[in-house]
Amino acid sequence: MDSNGNGLYSVTTSQQAFSSCCGAVITSLLVTPLDVVKVRLQVQSNPSLKGKCFVDSDGLMDRVCVYENGTSKGSHKASGQFTGMRDAFVKIVQREGVKALWSGLPPSLAVSVPTTVIYFTCYDQLRDAFISKLGEDNDYIPLIAGGIARLCSATVISPVELIRIRMQSRRLTYKQLHACITSNVSKDGWLSLWKGWGPSVLRDVPFSGIYWCNYEYFKKRLCKRSGIHEATFLISFSSGAAAGSIAALLTLPFDVVKTHKQTEIWESETTPTSQKKPATIWEVMKRIVAENGFTGLYAGIVPRLTKVAPACAIMISTYEYGKSFFRKLNKERDMKNR
């Protein structure tokens, strides 16, 4: 039985990790085309992004987008303007081929898979531990477990993400990369490997807490209405989409601030002559409001929701399906061994 006492066989940590790994790969494969289109539209509407690297997120993981000479790294230069998402899809395929919709997938998988495995496995372990101590009826468990899980995954992966960003932005060889990291560590200490950690946590921890709290709530309500103990694929999918949309909407200001803040950090690192000190998070927020009003904190809400909802739905439903598969497998093995 699982920690919820509902008669379901539990899954092992390795089975949870494998399920989350499959979910991360499938989500990346299905959502990357939306990322490519969204980024092309972003750069088209904001020429200042050209020649810089910046972060794009689907709510589960970050993808670093590097632009050189006005074109996304790994793609061919395209002329002409896109009138919308549909037009962008068609023109990208016509000019660059279908493969262009999955440009940047390998480096994304290199970071997103371990990040997601740590994140989802850690959440399940924490949730089960809290339930065994505090009881199943505590509504704050998903909120706390989700926040801590994202904090742990962001902290563990942050140095790896920093290395990937530098390799993409400067085209460094491994020897040059080692020399760069060694120089930074000797100058600023080991904490320099966690640059950009603050802005990431600012958005990701609240997002995760809100997401898991709503997901568990919607899942429980839909299961109760359907008269079942274990969520079906459809229940997980719809609960994930709804929870992801709510979390994305409520944390969008943090996402906007994080994008501005991290772009400044990377720009100062990739421009040796730049003496400008990166602004604090509060200064960035005040600047956005002063320049664009409070609506500036909700810039990009439509494309973010368009991407976050399916990404969350695909990831959680795949993950839950994987765990359901292993529960049945464990049950069959247990019956055979009796």
pLDDT of 322 strictly over 50: yes
Q: Residue 157: how many CA atoms within 13 Å on its side-chain side?
A: 26
Residue 153 burial (10 A CB sphere; 0-12, 13-18, 19+): buried
Q: Please give the single-letter amino acid code of residue 150.
A: R
In a domain, 2, yes or no: no
71 three-state secondary structure = strand
**What is the domain range of residue 153?**
13-337
77 three-state secondary structure = coil
In a domain, 8, yes or no: no
In a domain, 222, yes or no: yes
**pLDDT given for residue 165 in this prediction:** 56
Question: Measured between alpha carbons, how far is 143 from 157 in angstroms, rounded to an integer?
Answer: 21
In a domain, 166, yes or no: yes
What do you get for the CA distance between the two ends of the chain, in Å? 16
In a domain, 3, yes or no: no
53 vs 42 pLDDT, higher one: 42
Question: Measured between alpha carbons, how far is 278 from 56 in angstroms, rounded to an integer?
Answer: 20
In a domain, 1, yes or no: no
Give the pLDDT band of residue 72 (cuts 50, 70, 90).
Answer: very low
Whether residue 263 contacts residue 54, with contact meaning beta carbons closer than 8 Å, is answered with yes
The dihedral over CA atoms of 147, 148, 154, 155, expressed in degrees to the nearest 10, equals 150
- pTM for the whole structure: 0.76
**pLDDT given for residue 7 in this prediction:** 44
Whether residue 108 contacts residue 28, with contact meaning beta carbons closer than 8 Å, is answered with yes
Give the pLDDT band of residue 319 (cuts 50, 70, 90).
Answer: very high
In a domain, 5, yes or no: no
The DSSP-derived string for 138-205 is -TTHHHHHHHHHHHHHHHHHHHHHHHHHHHHHH---HHHHHHHHHHHHHHH-GGGGGTTHHHHHHHHH
pLDDT of 307 strictly over 90: no
Rounded (5°) CA angle 260-264-266: 120
Tokens linked to 118: 């740590």
Q: What is the pLDDT of residues 223-264, one digit of tens each?
A: 999 999 889 999 999 999 999 999 999 988 877 777 666 566
Q: What is the pLDDT of residues 134-175, one digit of tens each?
A: 888 888 999 999 999 999 998 888 777 666 655 544 555 666
CATH of the domain at 309: 1.50.40.10
Tokens linked to 190: 């080991």
**What does the radius of gyration of the chain's CA atoms come to, in whole angstroms?**
21
Name, of 175-189, 207-221, 247-261, the range with top average pLDDT. 207-221
Mean per-residue pLDDT over the chain, rounded: 77
Q: Which of 33, 38, 30 is nearest to 85 (CA)?
A: 38
Main-chain dihedrals φ then ψ at residue 93, nearest 5 degrees: -65, -45
- Residue 54 is classified by DSSP as E
- The count of structural domains within the chain is 1
Instruction: State the maximum Cα–Cα separation within the chain, in Å, rounded to a whole number.
Output: 71
List, in order, residues 6 or more apart from 20 with CB less than 8 Å away: 116, 117, 119, 120, 121, 319, 322
Whether residue 103 contacts residue 122, with contact meaning beta carbons closer than 8 Å, is answered with no
Main-chain dihedrals φ then ψ at residue 10, nearest 5 degrees: -80, 165
- Give CA 214 to chain center in angstroms: 17
- Residue 299 is classified by DSSP as T
pLDDT of 51 strictly over 80: no
pLDDT of 220 strictly over 90: yes
Partners of residue 64 on adjacent β-strands: 55
pLDDT of 22 strictly over 70: yes
